[in-house]
Amino acid sequence: MALFVHLPSSIMPHAVISAGAKFRASLRHNQNVPGPSCYSKVVREWGSEIQSKSLKFLLSSSLALALSLSGVGSAEGKPGVNKPELLPEEFTPLIDVAGFLSDGQEKRLKHEITALEKDTGFKLRVLAQNYPETPGLAIKDFWNVDDRTIVFVADPTFGNILNFNVGASVDLDIPRSFWSRLAGKYGNIFYWKENGEDQSIEAAVMAISKCLREPVGPNNCSEVN
């Protein structure tokens, strides 16, 4: 992947240690209850808490964490970047500081993104970059990133070119597996090396647009096209 989010190594141990401490405390609290049912109950509660804490970290809407996937943050040992001088003077939903897209592609994608927002209320924002040449965290204020925003960072620095930060409201409607499947199909190094970074970006934008336009239900976004 570029999966949905790469977690910094410093995050998960804290969640596990905290849950583990509660697990041991629960065992002590229930030590006088006979039979294995007590142990099973505590194990289930412990596992549920770990899963809940992990998902909260994994699905965090923190832009800094999501952008670390593309090298803007420190998840890969790279220093963070904040270069507002690389932002365009006027608003645009697509910023291509890497020069991956042709003028025609930019025009088509901007039109698709604008129409998608008008039709669905969801805001797709695309940043194409080559770390460290990126506006980085400056895009948060530039795009007014909120719970209905999908920030799509296209950066080949770490192999998979597709990285996503998904707002909480978007996450309610879109299956979490969609983003990893999308990255796996169009973001893998074999795909973009053969077809070009521009094709990966364009294919991803169109797949996201199709997904967000589907009625919400058990089978929405089940296919990545």
CATH number of the domain that 73 lies in? Answer: 3.10.310.50
Question: DSSP E strands: which ranges in the chain?
Answer: 94-96, 123-128, 149-154, 162-166
Q: Which of 17-21, 120-124, 129-133, 200-204 has the lowest mean pLDDT?
A: 17-21
Residue 2 belongs to a domain: no
The tally of domains found in the chain comes to: 2
Percent of the chain predicted with pLDDT > 70: 65
Buried b (16+ CB within 10 A) or exposed e, 61-74: bebbbbbbbbbbbe
Range(s) of the domain holding residue 199:
63-213
Considering the domain architecture, whether residues 117 and 51 belong to the same structural domain is answered as no
Backbone angles phi, psi at 155, to 5 degrees: -150, 120
3-class SS of residue 127: strand
What is the model's pLDDT at position 50? 39
Considering the domain architecture, whether residues 70 and 98 belong to the same structural domain is answered as yes
Considering the domain architecture, whether residues 87 and 131 belong to the same structural domain is answered as yes
How high does pLDDT run on average in the chain? 76
Residue 181 belongs to a domain: yes
pTM passes above 0.85: no
pLDDT in tens, 181-216: 999 999 999 999 999 999 999 999 999 999 999 999
Question: Residues 56, 77: contact at Cβ < 8 Å?
Answer: no
Confidence of residue 148 (pLDDT cuts 50, 70, 90): very high
Q: What is the DSSP string of 75-124?
A: TTSPPP-B-GGGS-SS--SEEESS--S-HHHHHHHHHHHHHHHHHHS-EE
Residue 223 belongs to a domain: no
